[in-house]
């Protein structure tokens, strides 16, 4: 595409907010996080019903900032609710739109990123993209198999931020992401620790179904028999058990809050219980790094800490004590999801990368 400035709108819907960014040739000229109160979202019975409301809010913010929709050259949405697919940049097609709209596999607001981007693209006759959705699955077969044939391990990773971090780190050292073996640790409300083998995420912990280290809101791995016993104890409903695994477990269950800043402030004030729980989380993170080191056959270029928690020197320092002898440890704090959406779309529009076609068929079929 021959154009001096390519303007891309990135759309990243979350549970209680919609983050947007406007990028001119990859440079951010606007970033907004639009909060949605419980009262605002209450009228919508299903998450998918929020689409028009969120789209209208986005348009109003852009109008207030004097950015016309006609000036946007492409729309890039976060995505989700899809069948398992390979990594890359997708131009949103009707089957991807359909799966995201019905939230085919997972019901999460991130899927609204696809539906909003696609409909805006149709309205303004501009392309719409989805970049490395949460459904990216590049696991090797060995990583999927469990000791119960009816159960397979699934790839549920912070794929968008992890891939972007890999690309950024590679560029920083003058190499390509596909030339490196990396362990990337996304440390946020959920924690995913992933083995990147020459551009493919071959193994990781499942951040949705209860796997890997505990996190501020998630239980992580727990002994299977003990969990099964709890399920049949009549102490919790099925919904409450799922809540413990994916929403109210981890630091939230132990310390009554999932605000890592508050928890770490308590640690620094001498709260022994808070320190014990945080140190346990750090220990579990380090163990998962060790597992991914083995997945890479002990050939790792670097271990990268990213996500919001990696802003804290206490956590970073503790993790490094466990893993620093495995490979160089690099801290790239925060998350770059809006940037990643814009960067993927920009690479395609500049002809630097080809789009991947979403077929609606999962990349993995059971054995």
Q: What is the DSSP track for 69-98?
A: GGG--EEEE---SPPPB-SSEEE--HHHHH
What whole-number distance in Å separates Cα of residue 180 and Cα of residue 163?
12
Res 208: pLDDT: 85
Instruction: List Cβ neighbours of 293 (8 Å cut-off, separation of 6 or more).
Output: 183, 195, 300, 326, 327
Q: Which long-range contacts (CB under 8 A, 24 or more apart) does 177-181 make?
A: 180/301, 180/302, 181/296, 181/299, 181/300, 181/301
What whole-number distance in Å separates Cα of residue 189 and Cα of residue 326?
26
Res 1: pLDDT: 47
Q: How are strands ordered across the β-sheet holding 7-13? A: 27-35, 17-24, 7-13, 74-77, 128-131, 89-91
Find out whether 249 and 214 touch, Cβ atoms under 8 Å. yes
DSSP per-residue letters across 234-290: SSS-HHHHHHHHHTS-HHHHHHS---HHHHHHHHHTT-HHHHHHHHHHHHHHHHHHH
Burial of 117: CB neighbours in 10 Å, binned 0-12, 13-18, 19+:
buried
Find out whether 220 and 250 touch, Cβ atoms under 8 Å. yes
pTM score of the predicted model = 0.92
User: Beta partners for 21?
Assistant: 10, 31
Domains of the chain and any CATH numbers: 7-138+338-349 (3.30.420.40), 160-334 (3.30.420.40)
Residue 131: how many CA atoms within 13 Å on its side-chain side?
29
Composition of the chain by helix, strand, coil, percent to 5? 40, 20, 40
What whole-number distance in Å separates Cα of residue 323 and Cα of residue 284?
12
3-state secondary structure of 42: coil
What does the buried/exposed string (b/e) look like for 74-107 if buried means 16 or more CB atoms within 10 Å of the residue's CB?
bbbbbbbbbbbbebbbbbbbebbbebbbebbbee
Find out whether 213 and 305 touch, Cβ atoms under 8 Å. no
Res 367: pLDDT: 74
- Per residue of the chain (367 residues), what is the pLDDT tens digit? 467 899 999 999 988 899 999 999 999 999 999 999 989 999 999 999 999 999 999 999 999 999 999 999 999 999 999 999 999 999 999 999 999 999 999 888 999 999 999 999 999 999 999 999 999 999 999 999 999 999 999 998 999 999 999 999 999 999 999 999 999 999 998 999 999 999 999 999 999 889 999 999 999 999 999 999 999 999 999 999 999 998 899 999 999 999 999 999 999 999 999 999 999 999 999 999 999 999 999 999 999 999 999 999 999 999 999 999 999 999 999 889 999 999 999 999 999 999 999 999 999 877 7
Angle between helices 337-349 and 159-172 (to 10 degrees): 70
DSSP per-residue letters across 7-19: EEEEEEE-SSEEE
Residue 320: how many CA atoms within 13 Å on its side-chain side?
13
Burial of 168: CB neighbours in 10 Å, binned 0-12, 13-18, 19+:
middle
Res 2: pLDDT: 60
Q: Which residue has the tokens 């050939």?
A: 299
Res 38: pLDDT: 87
Res 365: pLDDT: 79
What whole-number distance in Å separates Cα of residue 212 and Cα of residue 298?
19
Residue 311's closest CA among 187, 147, 180? 187
Q: Which residue has the tokens 């002990």?
A: 298
């Amino acid at each position: 595409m021959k154009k001096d400035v390519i303007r891309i709108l990135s759309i990243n819907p979350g549970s209680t907010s919609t983050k947007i960014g406007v990028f001119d040739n990859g440079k951010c000229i606007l970033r907004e996080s639009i909060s949605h109160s419980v009262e605002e979202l209450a009228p919508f019975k299903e998450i998918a019903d929020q689409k028009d409301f969120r789209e209208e809010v986005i348009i109003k913010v852009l109008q207030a900032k004097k950015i016309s929709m006609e000036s946007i050259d492409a729309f890039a949405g976060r995505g989700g609710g899809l069948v398992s697919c390979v990594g890359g940049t997708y131009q949103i097609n009707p089957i991807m739109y359909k799966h995201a709209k019905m939230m085919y596999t997972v019901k999460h607001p991130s899927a609204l990123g696809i539906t909003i981007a696609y409909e805006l693209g149709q309205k303004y006759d501009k392309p719409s993209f989805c970049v490395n959705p949460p459904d990216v699955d590049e696991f090797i077969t060995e990583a999927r198999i469990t000791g119960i044939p009816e159960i397979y391990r699934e790839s549920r990773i912070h794929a968008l931020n992890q891939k972007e971090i890999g690309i950024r780190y590679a560029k920083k050292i003058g190499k390509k992401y596909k030339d490196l073996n990396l362990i990337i640790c996304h440390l946020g409300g959920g924690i995913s620790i992933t083995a990147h083998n020459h551009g493919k995420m071959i193994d990781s912990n499942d951040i949705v179904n209860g796997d890997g280290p505990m996190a501020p809101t998630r239980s992580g791995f727990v002994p299977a028999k003990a969990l099964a016993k709890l399920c049949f104890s009549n102490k919790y409903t099925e919904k409450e058990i799922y809540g413990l695994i994916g929403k109210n477990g981890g630091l939230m269950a132990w310390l009554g809050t999932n605000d890592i800043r508050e928890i770490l402030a308590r640690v620094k004030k001498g709260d022994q219980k808070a320190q014990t729980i945080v140190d346990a989380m750090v220990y579990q993170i380090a163990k998962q790094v060790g597992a991914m080191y083995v997945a890479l056959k002990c050939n790792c270029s670097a271990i990268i800490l990213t996500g919001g928690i990696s802003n804290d020197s206490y956590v970073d320092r503790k993790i490094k004590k466990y893993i620093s002898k495995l490979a160089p440890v690099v801290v790239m704090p925060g998350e770059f999801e809006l940037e990643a959406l814009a960067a993927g779309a920009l690479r395609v529009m500049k002809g630097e990368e080809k789009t991947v076609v979403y077929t609606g068929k999962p990349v993995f079929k059971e054995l």
